[in-house]
Amino acid sequence: MKLLLFLLILLAMEPVVSAECWMNGHCRLVCKSDEDSLIRCSNRKRCCVLSRYLTVQPMTVERIQPWTVPPMSKQVEHKAKPGKRGNINGYRG
């Protein structure tokens, strides 16, 4: 009888699932080893986000390094077509 009562109580309980938070993170008391906590969830737990999804913008102390800035697009120079040469030796014809 106690076993039946235990099973009824167990089935009536809602499963404990961690809620989702910022950047597809999960609200947990303690983050896993490959996760970092940045903010708190509404239930006062940590919002644990995978470390590989967190990016930090590169900074330098003195100046902007070329590898921190995306490359600028170069202007394309248009060359004249081979068949049309314009004036050769001042000849107008």
| pLDDT computed for residue 32 by the predictor | 93
Summarised one tens digit per residue, pLDDT across range 28-53 is 999 999 999 888 998 889 999 998 87
**Average confidence (pLDDT) per 10 residues, the chain, 93 residues:** 78 65 88 90 90 71 63 65 60 54
Output the pLDDT for position 38.
Answer: 83
pLDDT of residue 48: 92
**What confidence score (pLDDT) does residue 7 get?**
76
pTM, rounded to two decimals: 0.41
* Dihedral angle, C-alpha 84, 87, 91, 92, nearest 10 °: 70
Q: Look at residue 75 in the predicted model and tell me its pLDDT.
A: 66
**Cβ–Cβ < 8 Å for 32, 25:** no
The one-letter amino acid code at 62 reads E
Burial of 16-53, coded b for 16+ CB within 10 Å and e otherwise, reads eeeeebeeebbbbeebeeebbeeeebeeebbbbbeeee
